[in-house]
A and B are shown apart, each in its own frame.
Chain A
């Protein structure tokens, strides 16, 4: 089996998902993932569609295993997991692959992503503060600041998405 390993770091999961689908389009199918390391195998171009999901709990939590079992029954394959992130794929011949078709669950997912980004931003800001107070590695501050700024941008983007979804939900029929 021909494989290809690519090292990349994504903070924006939507960009990451887009890239995985572009790779799949060219016949490179994601098989394994470990932070920053993507292993692809050569397969049929366009045979799979990929989605990235953020679970509420870690993958081995009973709540997550029940969901993963359900996805398996729905012909959705769990490619790999990393912390609460999971990489999923579905054969394109089995129809379009969307995880959600209603506003409530789209809003719930956006909230999960938003909370995670906020946590990462907080950790980053704390790291910057520590470095400003006791600068034992001053050069780290700059990439740290750049990362914090990028995450702040992503938070703003996800917040806007959340507002749009809530607006759409409001005009749709609800119980």
Chain B
């Protein structure tokens, strides 16, 4: 049932969580970073973020690491997660390029 990496469209929350885990962060750090990156537009609630992290760990896209700053659990992206994220960036770029080219009848 595994979808090929190229066909996956990520939800906004998952995309931003993966993006924030380019460096290890704990839950609160992820929430703050995502809010900052999106200028306050994407606000991940605690229960939702917990569910997203659990399912990403299950998929093997992120993993829990020993937190450098005491008892708080930190997460980091895995190699699999990184390739999913990069494939998504290619897909998003295609959407943006086609959008720029075709919106408003600006045909080549």
**B9 with A101: CB separation less than 8 A:** no
Interface size of B by CB at 8 A reads 22
Give Cα distance in the complex from A74 to B53, angstroms: 14
**A101 with B44: CB separation less than 8 A:** yes
**B48 with A105: CB separation less than 8 A:** yes
Give Cα distance in the complex from A75 to B8, angstroms: 33
**B99, chain A: closest CB distance, angstroms:** 15
Q: Is A139 an interface residue (CB 8 A)?
A: no
CB closest residue in chain A, given B53 = A70
Q: Report chain B residues within 8 Å CB of A93.
A: none
**B9, chain A: closest CB distance, angstroms:** 5
**A73 with B26: CB separation less than 8 A:** yes
Q: Report chain A residues within 8 Å CB of B50.
A: 67, 70-71
Q: Report chain B residues within 8 Å CB of A108.
A: 51
Map CB proximity to B onto A61-92 as digits: 1 under 8 Å, 0 otherwise: 00000010111011110000000000000000
Q: Is B13 an interface residue (CB 8 A)?
A: yes
**B18, chain A: closest CB distance, angstroms:** 13
| Dominant secondary structure of chain A at its interface with chain B | loop
**A71 with B48: CB separation less than 8 A:** no
In the complex, number of A-B residue pairs with CB atoms less than 8 Å apart: 53
Partner of B51, one of A73, A75, A96, A105: A105
**B10 with A71: CB separation less than 8 A:** no
Q: Is B45 an interface residue (CB 8 A)?
A: yes
Q: Is B73 an interface residue (CB 8 A)?
A: yes
Give Cα distance in the complex from A76 to B27, angstroms: 12
Map CB proximity to A onto B1-19 as digits: 1 under 8 Å, 0 otherwise: 0000000111111100000
Q: Is B47 an interface residue (CB 8 A)?
A: yes
Give Cα distance in the complex from A174 to B14, angstroms: 11
Give Cα distance in the complex from A99 to B45, angstroms: 5
Give Cα distance in the complex from A69 to B72, angstroms: 9
Q: What are 27 A-B residue pairs whose CB atoms fall within 8 Å in the complex? A: A53-B47, A67-B50, A70-B27, A70-B46, A70-B73, A71-B46, A73-B26, A73-B27, A73-B72, A73-B73, A74-B27, A74-B28, A75-B28, A76-B46, A98-B45, A99-B46, A99-B47, A101-B43, A101-B44, A102-B11, A105-B48, A105-B51, A109-B47, A173-B9, A173-B12, A174-B11, A175-B10
